Amino acid sequence: MKKRNLLLAALVLASLPAAPALAGWKLVPHAKPIAVAKGTLTVTPDADWNRWSVRPIKKGEVWTLDGTGLNEVYFVSGLIVGETLYRDADKKNRPLPTLTKGMTLTDIPEFFESSNRIALNTSLFTVTGVEPAKMGERDAVKFNYEYAVEGSPLKRRGMAIGSLSGGVLYLISYTAPATHFYEQNRAKAEAIMASAHY
């Protein structure tokens, strides 16, 4: 009987998809400065967050409070010319835009929008506001956006801050469903952005 149970357990384990078994979440404690996305970008959250062990790109990192579907913070630290904002999953047919030489702050929202439209495969993506900001001591651009993905009535809202230094990009975005969740955790995301420096 025991043997059979073991066999069953082995079968169940074997049939589980591999990725979730490998993916993990680590607690990011509040009020402690932490370097993100394997780069020099450093933030100090005012709440406990969860960091995903899976990185969309080598220089990227994902945090969430309750699951990425409800709130997601994406960090990019030190993206250089020729690199993409997300993993270039369908490079042959739908290549993502790459960071180009001579980009300025006003190009960041355009780069972000185009990357997201292709990665999410949607045309329903709108940048709703663009204003100057600071990331630590450096000049930055802060922008807001909204989108919905194909086949879903759910509207998502987001805000992001981006900065360029010597053509190298540092970016933090916060995205959540427009109804309830965006506002619920906006202050916590803003605290991360306000504490950011590189």
Partner 1 sequence: MALLARSLRIVLAALLVIQPVLVETARAQEAAAQPAALPVAEEETYKPVDKDERGLWMDTEEGERQLKASQQVIRDPALNAYVRKVLCNLVGQGKCTSIRLYIVRTPDFNASMAVNGAMVVYSGLLLRTQNEAQLAAVLGHEYTHFAGHHGLRMFRQVKEKSAAAAWLAFTGIGLIASFSMAASLFSYSRDMEREADSGGLALMAAAGYDTREASKVWEQLRAEMDATAAVRNTKSRKDKNGGIFATHPPTAERVTNLAQMATANPGVAGATGLDSYSAAMGHWWPVFFDDQLKRNDLGASDYLLAALAQQGWSPWLLYARGELYRRRALGNDIADAEKFYSQGIEAGGELPELWRGRGLARLKLERPEDGKTDLNEYLRRSPDAVDKAMIAMMAGETR
Beta carbon of residue 79, minimum distance to partner 1 (angstroms, whole number): 15
Task: Give how far the C-alpha of residue 95 lies from the chain's centroid of Cα atoms, to the nearest Å.
Answer: 19
Helix, coil or strand: residue 12: helix
Write each residue from 95 to 114 as x if it is in contact with partner 1 (CB under 8 A), else as -, in one continuous string: xxx--xxxxxxxx-xx--xx
Give the E-state strand segments of 15-167 in sequence order: 25-28, 34-35, 42-43, 49-52, 60-64, 72-79, 125-135, 138-147, 156-165
> What CA–CA distances, in Å, run from 66 to 3, 52, 182?
38, 12, 12
| 92 touches partner 1 (CB under 8 A) | yes
Q: Which of 146, 93, 90 is nearest to 122 (CA)?
A: 146
* Site stretch for partner 1 (CB under 8 A), options 11-19, 25-33, 68-76, 115-123: 115-123
Task: Give how far the C-alpha of residue 146 lies from the chain's centroid of Cα atoms, to the nearest Å.
Answer: 15
| 87 touches partner 1 (CB under 8 A) | no
User: What is the distance between the alpha carbons of residues 24 and 132, in angstroms, rounded to a whole number?
Assistant: 36
| 57 touches partner 1 (CB under 8 A) | no
User: What is the distance between the alpha carbons of residues 184 and 198, in angstroms, rounded to a whole number?
Assistant: 27
Sole binder of partner 1 in the list 132, 167, 179, 180 (CB under 8 A):
132
* Site stretch for partner 1 (CB under 8 A), options 1-9, 31-39, 128-136, 176-184: 128-136
CB 61 within 8 A of CB 49: no
| 34 touches partner 1 (CB under 8 A) | no
Write each residue from 133 to 152 as x if it is in contact with partner 1 (CB under 8 A), else as -, in one continuous string: --------x------x-xxx
Q: Given the complex with partner 1, which of 15 and 104 has the nearer CB atom?
A: 104
| Number of residues this chain uses to bind partner 1 (CB under 8 A) | 35
Beta carbon of residue 191, minimum distance to partner 1 (angstroms, whole number): 22
Q: Which residues bind partner 1 (CB under 8 A)?
A: 92, 94-97, 100-107, 109-110, 113-114, 117-118, 122-124, 127-132, 141, 148, 150-153, 155
